[in-house]
Structure 1
Amino acid sequence: MNNPESRASPAAQSEAQPRLIVLDDDPITRSMIARYFATESFLVQEAASASECRILLRQSTPDLIFVDIHLPDANGIAFAQEIRASSSVGLIFVTQRDCEIDRVVGLESAGDDYVIKPVNLRELMARSRALLRRRMLDRAPAGHCSVVTFGDYVMDMTRRELALRSGAQVQLTRGEFDLLAALVDAKGRALYRDFLAEVVSSRTEMGDARTVDSLIARLRRKLKQGGDLGDAIVTVTGIGYRFGLTVGTS
């Protein structure tokens, strides 16, 4: 078990930097991931077992934990469920177990994402930053208006709901809501497809330009419930999309 200062540079030791625990009994994989994320300004701690991870969790609260399913003293999924019972920390399974049952049980009961070894470090970083970004949106700071209006719609960012002013709910998938929230929050600024792909990356697959385009098409269809809002989401050639309606507060 390592002290975070052994992995993070002095410049990275800031409260603004995300805190990560890498829980893996393989020292080579654990060290490789820890070193990479430390160079990207994460404050990293390592644990080789569930018992070591419990000690770290008693000392401080991380923003993110990578959990291997195979641990010497616990089942990784069961341990993740134990963590989830008392914490909303981001959890990503990083494991060799490419088993559909493990993936489904892990994601439904505790995890936010599931990554198969051998690890592509750049992909793992992208998934991690996307998860942290989504969690920041979910924890809107005090003073930030969580309910906005546009056209005939009311959007509650905290409750993650979109409804017509009449009260009728509009059913959005997680990806659709995250995408719409990012566009609304940008207040008319154009957002690049690559950025939106990270925003909507799901627990089962990374987002890409085609995923974004598909979600945009679905959102445009669903927004027609509130009348002709053809200009709600505007295509910006060579960049991506922007929100075209005036956004108010409620």
Structure 2
Amino acid sequence: MLMETNFVDEKSRILLVDDDEALRGLIAEFLGGHGYTVFQADGGQTMRKLLEQERVSIVVLDVMMPGEDGLSLARSLSGRLDLGIIMVSALGSETDRIVGLEVGADDYLAKPVSPRELLARIRALLRRQHQVEEADDVATAFSFEDWTFDVIRRVLRDPSNVIISLSEGEFSLLRVFVERPQRVLTRDQLLEYARGPDSDAFDRAIDTQVSRLRRKLATRTKSELIRTVRNEGYMFLPKVAKR
């Protein structure tokens, strides 16, 4: 089933994926009343068909659906940088939320979902998307301590102009640091900002990923670039110039 309500603009287009038609209708009516264009799909097949036909900014995915569940669908969409993903589920434990974030969701809400809270989460995610788009428009590369980091070509060069190989997770993590230098970032913030196929949700896994990136940087410079702030998180120390 496909349905559209309240056309506004491309940035306000939301796709609801849930096998509960009554719940979809209630949320669609609520979001539509706040100026959003709302599409509805009852499962993965309908979702994919609609995404081929329409451009949306955020997909709201129910986890527990017959056939292909929301986790599988989120994993299949995680490579779509143009899409934000909010998962909703009756499974609301910490482990369930972590799994949802690990497979590619930007946010996770436990059912029963408050339409007002969902609206607030959608607005927050749209703001983050807009901030990323603005940053991409302004800066395509960064320099720090004679290093250069090209985020478009995904190339990191050390002070000797040697290319340093980065994993997907290390690339995402370094981008978070250079876009937010000289400020303390908690582990939760690092997870949120660096979401990707290789991002880890557990504190210790984040620590391990930071350690790997720090070692790669340390082999080419004597300066401390990433500092551990006890009981708080991490700080990228150098001044960063946008290019």
Q: Same fold (TM over 0.5)?
A: yes
* Range into which the TM-score falls when normalised by the shorter chain: 0.5 to 0.7
Give the direction of change, closer, same or farther, for the CA distance of 1:16–1:215 in structure 2 (3 Å limit).
farther
Instruction: State the Cα distance separating 1:226 from its structure 2 match.
Output: 1.5
Other-structure match for 2:230: 237
Aligned length: 209
Moved more, 13-22 or 176-185: 13-22
Q: Which amino acid aligns with 1:148?
A: F
Q: Which amino acid aligns with 1:240?
A: G
Which residues of 2 match residues 92-107 of structure 1 at below 5 A?
Answer: none
Alignment equivalent of 1:184, drawn from 178, 181, 205: 178
Which residues of 2 match residues 72-87 of structure 1 at below 5 A?
Answer: none
Give the direction of change, closer, same or farther, for the CA distance of 1:202–1:211 in structure 2 (3 Å limit).
farther
Cα shift readout 1:174-209 (whole Å, capped 9, x = no counterpart): 222222211211131222222112123444775232
- Matched residue SS, 1:226: coil
Judge conservation of contact 1:149–1:155 (CA < 8 Å) in 2: yes
Judge conservation of contact 2:5–2:32 (CA < 8 Å) in 1: no
Give the direction of change, closer, same or farther, for the CA distance of 1:29–1:161 in structure 2 (3 Å limit).
farther
TM-score, normalised to structure 2, is 0.60
Structure 2 unaligned residues grouped into runs of 5+? 88-101
Q: Which amino acid aligns with 1:90?
A: L
Give distance in 1, aligned partners of 2:34 and 2:198.
Answer: 24
Structure 1 unaligned residues grouped into runs of 5+? 6-12, 95-111
Judge conservation of contact 1:69–1:93 (CA < 8 Å) in 2: no
Other-structure match for 2:3: 2
Cα shift readout 1:52-94 (whole Å, capped 9, x = no counterpart): 8646764x510234677948xxxx98xx79xx9xx86438698
How high is the sequence identity, in percent, across the aligned residues? Answer: 24
Alignment equivalent of 2:165, drawn from 162, 171, 179: 171
Give distance in 2, aligned partners of 1:176 and 1:131.
Answer: 25
CA RMSD of aligned residues (A): 4.8
Instruction: State the Cα distance separating 1:46 from its structure 2 match.
Output: 0.8
Q: Which amino acid aligns with 1:175?
A: G
Judge conservation of contact 2:157–2:164 (CA < 8 Å) in 1: yes
Give distance in 1, aligned partners of 2:170 and 2:160.
Answer: 21
Q: Does 1:200 align with 2:194?
A: yes
Give distance in 2, aligned partners of 1:18 and 1:192.
Answer: 30
